[in-house]
Structure 1
Amino acid sequence: MRGRVAPLWRRIVAALALIAWIAGATAPAQAERVRDIGAFQGVRSNQLTGYGIVVGLDGSGDDSLEYLTQAMKGVSGRMGLQLPAGVTPALKNAAAVLVTADLPAFAKPGQRIDITVSAIGKAKSLRGGALILTPLYGADGQIYAMAQGNLAVGGLGVAAKDGSQLSVNIPTVGRIAEGASVERAVATGFENGDVLRYNLHAADFLTAQRVRDAINTRFPGMAVAEDAVTIALRLPPGSDTRSSLLASIEMIDVVPAEAPARVIINSRTGTVVINSAVRLLPAAVSHGKLTVRINEKPRVSQPNPLAGGQTTVTPNSQISAQEDQAHIALMKGGASLSKIVDALNLLGVTPSDLVAILEALKQAGALKAEMVVI
């Protein structure tokens, strides 16, 4: 049988040699639209938050928490109902919540947006509740939307009298589709100013130059690269003209620069992610395993019944160590690391072994990539 199957180290060397031979060229870069690699300055969503009350719960609310009581008194006061002084109502059917939403760019008064409602107290479930009219504030403290409606909760939580509980998903978070009405528009500055800036999602000088050149090829003299992120666009006045120009610019195809060589290692799960820019210099790798086994086989010592002794347990340990035979594998330069990792995985290399090999190659200077541990 040994004469028919080649040793593991020979198969590794053969696989690496084959990979180095076929990995001579990388896949061609793919063109992307301008709208997919960046965004226009000011044309973005804005975050809104608000503090509200959910009512109509089936006994799964916050009960008599002080901040909920104060909020309910405020709501009652706005409706003309004054609660007696010193009265603390038991609000098991109500819950204090935080309401969050994203206000899209160019949202106009009267449009509807989705909202998310999350419990902040001891409420066990928001299922079946209704949100009372709640103002949503922006970062500047101004009211930009008003929220209200019946919650859709995907989670479920139940409890029995003996204390046992069952929870499916998260019952204390719900959503209301189109649950808020926009009351104020956010000024974007789109129609004002002579220059509108376009910002890349990832800073790269080469990509910025390519975007600038692609825009100037279509509209000569319009774009100027200010840095590795920003391209300034000189636009004529008029919102209709600018909208037409930006619609055309967004659809221009650009080939982004190749991403920096990186190896991402998740230290918790052992996941290794490698991009196509990673390359190897010639290196020799020898990787072995040391296995230590400790077997405990205690023995029971039983004395003679007439001797008056006691039964005792005596330890009996057996320790053995075994180191697998390691062979040196030569990795030729120029092969993409992603192909080499695939080959090592097919040959049974574990994630922990793979991380150890990558770290050693980096320290030896043979791995041309940035290693990021998350």
Structure 2
Amino acid sequence: MRRLILATLLCCLSLPSVAEPLKQLVSFAGVRNNQLVGYGLVVGLDGTGDQTTQTPFTVQSIRNMLTNLGVQIPLGGNIQLKNVATVMVTATLPPFARPGQPLDVVVSSIGNARSLRGGALLMAPLKGADGQIYAMAQGNLVVAGAGAAAAGTSVQVNQLATGLIPAGATVEKAVPTVLGSGEFVQLELLQTDFSTASRVVNAINSQVGAVASALDGRVIQVRAPQDPNQRVAFLARLETIDVTPAQMNPKVIINARTGSVVMNQAVTVQECSIAHGNLTVTIIADNQVVQPNALAAGQAKRVQNAEVGIETGKGPMVKVPKATSLSQVVRALNSVGATPQDLLAILQAMKAAGALNAVIEII
């Protein structure tokens, strides 16, 4: 139990900052992915599709599709299908994508279909945030899950309501991607830091001349050649420049739902003393049935009895020495012998007492 903290205290060794290629620290303004989404129908299911009585939009979608194909359905007709499912189709349009380029798509059920295994997606347009169609998706689904049911017993492995269609969409419209405006290209740090921005500017100017300047703690403006071919070669050269990032701010991330604690290598602790006891509550139920006497006219009644006990564990005072490296911090916290859930309260108390040099963020 004393070593259980190491299972949830995810950390890395305390190493000094080392030089990294610039492409690992920044992204180029305008070079980004675009999310696409669409609505469609999956057909050919083996009786595992939507229950159309409970999903009226499935029936409406089938009517619209058949009408577009020239098939007229009587308005009073009751469509009861088990091999069709309504789905949402999502994909990511990468930068510089051109018409004809294939994309992987994810197909997810939005009705009450039990499984999409063995189904085929009918042609579905994929739209961007502006409402324009950028790709068309269609194809056979690959579902990683498996399931079976018989005599009221069922078993399932992984998720059956989501599938993948590799290269299932084709780009129909390109998104204009402009590498900078005019003679300048902007580099955006993945994490805002004024010290790192200054180091990036110094590294670029020392390698290719006085062409870079920092606009703020995140954006660096670089003068680049106007010719597209020369600009690409110039940016490729920038990506390989080594930059030593500034030391990160000390931070502790606490996931209150799972009890996980993550801290970076900049976290340090001051000398302090910690006493943390455990409180155990035990409830034992003893339910009985009381029978009336043989000649009495009463009825049997249930009587609920419960024994509640509270036990307070010993919480000895533990002295935590001053720790200046992450490995020392881990050893100091392990010496307390607390569980991962106890560690959440201890870290917050240490921060309030001024013994923890870090910003605590709860997610």
**What's the TM-score bracket when you normalise by the shorter of the two chains?**
0.7 to 0.9
Deviation at residue 282 of structure 1 after TM alignment: 3.4
CA positional deviation for 1:288: 5.0
Quick one: distance in 1 between partners of 2:63 and 2:284?
A: 69
Does the 8 Å contact 2:321/2:332 carry over to 1?
no
Please name the residue that 1:367 is paired with. Answer: 356
Change (3 A) 1:321 1:185: closer
Q: Distance in 1 between matches of 2:258 and 2:266?
A: 24
The reply on whether 1:166 has 2:155 as its aligned counterpart is: yes
Counterpart of 2:7 in structure 1 is none
Structure 2 match to 1:121: 111
Which digits, 9 at most, give the CA deviation of each residue in 1:326-349, with x for residues without a partner?
A: 3452x4445335413224426744
TM-score, with normalisation over the residues of structure 1? 0.80
- Does the CA-based 8 Å contact 1:264-1:373 persist in structure 2? yes
Q: Does 1:324 align with 2:314?
A: yes
CA distance 1:336–1:156, shift in 2 (3 Å): same
CA deviation profile, 1:135-174 (whole Å, cap 9, x unmatched): 11111111111111000011223333x5443322111110
2:20 to 32, 35, 42: 32
Distance in 2 between residues matched to 1:195 and 1:208, nearest whole Å: 17
Match for residue 232 of structure 2? Answer: 243
Shift of 1:316: 11
Letter in 1 for 2:243: V
2:216 aligned with 1:224: no
Structure-2 separation of matches of 1:296 and 1:174: 47
Aligned equivalent of 2:126: 136
Aligned to 2:5: none
- The alignment status of 1:95 with 2:74, answered yes or no, reads no
Change (3 A) 1:101 1:368: same
Match of 2:41 among 49, 53, 59: 53
Confirm or deny: 8 A CA contact 1:290 1:321 kept in the other structure.
yes
Q: 1:216 to 1:287 in 2, by over 3 A?
A: same
The DSSP-based 3-state class of the residue aligned with 1:62 is: coil
1:211 lines up with 2:200 in the alignment: yes
Structure whose CA Rg is larger: 1
1:74 aligns with 2:74: no
CA distance in 1, matches of 2:143, 2:182: 45
Cα deviation, residue 123, structure 1: 1.0
- Greater alpha carbon shift after TM alignment, 207-216 vs 69-78: 69-78
1:82-106 CA distances to partner (integer Å, 9 max, x unpaired)? 2233323222111111100000110
2: CA distance between counterparts of 1:122 and 1:318? 44
Q: Counterpart of 2:204 in 1: which secondary structure?
A: helix
Inter-CA distance 332–339: structure 2 relative to 1 (3 Å threshold): closer
1:267 is aligned, of 253, 256, 269, to: 256
RMSD: 3.3
Name the CA distance, whole Å, in 2 between partners of 1:242 and 1:46: 23
For 2:252 and 2:97, how far apart are their aligned partners in 1? 41
Range with greater deviation from structure 2 (89-98 or 344-353): 344-353
Q: Per the alignment, do residues 239 and 192 of structure 1 end up closer, same or farther by CA in structure 2, a change over 3 Å counting? A: farther
Q: Is the 8 A contact 1:51 1:99 kept in 2?
A: yes
CA contact (8 A) 2:323 2:332 kept: no
Does the CA-based 8 Å contact 1:192-1:237 persist in structure 2? no
The 2-side partners of 1:316 and 1:180 are apart by 62
Q: Distance in 2 between matches of 1:92 and 1:321?
A: 57
Aligned length, in residue pairs? 340
Aligned partner of residue 361 in structure 1, secondary structure: helix
Report the 3-state secondary structure (helix = DSSP H, G, I; strand = E; otherwise coil) of the residue aligned with 1:218.
helix
**Counterpart residue number, 1:105:** 95
- Matched to 2:123, the amino acid is L
**Separation in 1 of the partners of 2:276 and 2:354?**
17
Task: Indicate yes or no: 2:234 matched with 1:234.
Answer: no
CA distance in 1, matches of 2:31, 2:308: 70
* Structure 2 CA distance for aligned equivalents of residues 321 and 79 of structure 1: 73
Greater Cα offset, 269-278 or 206-215: 269-278
Deviation at 1:295, TM superposition (A): 8.8
- Structure 1 range deviating more: 256-265 or 98-107: 256-265
1:154 is matched with 144
Structure 1 residue 238: Cα displacement: 1.7
> Could you say if the C-alpha distance between residues 326 and 236 of structure 1 is closer, same or farther in structure 2, counting changes exceeding 3 Å?
same
Q: Cα distance 1:81–1:246, how it changes in 2: closer, same or farther (>3 A)?
A: same
Measured after TM superposition, the shift of residue 215 of structure 1 is 1.3
| Structure 1: stretches of 5+ with no match in the other structure | 1-24, 299-312
Instruction: Indicate if the aligned counterparts of 2:279 and 2:310 stay in contact, CA closer than 8 A.
Output: no
What is the distance in 2 between the residues matched to 1:320 and 1:182? 65
Q: One-letter code of the match for 2:216?
A: D
Aligned AA (1:186): V
The alignment partner of 2:168 has SS state of strand
1:342 equivalent in alignment to 2:331: yes
- Provide TM-score, normalisation by structure 2: 0.82
Within 1, Cα distance between the matches of 2:315 and 2:76?
81
Give the counterpart letter for 2:155 in structure 1.
Answer: L
Tell me the equivalent position of 1:84: 74
Identical pairs, percent: 47
**Structure 2 unpaired stretches of 5+:** 1-12, 288-302
SS in 2 for 1:125: coil
Aligned to 1:182: 171
